[in-house]
Amino acid sequence: MEAANDAPLTVEIVYAAPQRTIVKTLYLPAGSVVADALRSAALDPEFLGIDLANSAVGIFGILATSEQRLEQGDRIEIYRPLTRDPKTARRERAKQARRPPRR
């Protein structure tokens, strides 16, 4: 009987753009790493235009490296770069909230 570690992996890869979300299921060989999943996703036309090679990625919300080993059922998340500094955006929202309403 073969060891369970040799079983193929089923993982999800996700990218959330402002207008749409891409969720794909990937079937990878045992021992695959994040980089293998990204290479597989790069072959899918829906990921065209996404900089998979340079994007930050995580597994279930925790940053991951490209050489991190995958486990059965992992959800790989591809993160978009920030368009604004979060602290600056929060300050601007707070400033707007303090202003009296226009009449």
Higher pLDDT pick, 92 / 25: 25
The DSSP line for 72-83 is TT-EEEEPPPPS
Q: What CATH number was assigned to the domain covering residues 4-98?
A: 3.10.20.90
Claim: this prediction has a pTM higher than 0.85: no
What are residue 77's phi and psi, to 5 degrees?
Answer: -110, 130
Q: How far apart are CA 19 and CA 27, in angstroms?
A: 27
pLDDT in tens, 27-70: 999 999 999 999 999 999 998 888 888 899 999 999 999 999 99
Query: In the 8-state DSSP scheme, what is residue 8?
Result: P
> How do residues 74-99 score in pLDDT, each as one tens digit?
999 999 877 777 788 788 888 888 77
**Residue 1 pLDDT > 50, yes or no?**
no
Higher pLDDT, 2 or 62: 62
Residue with tokens 């060989």: 29
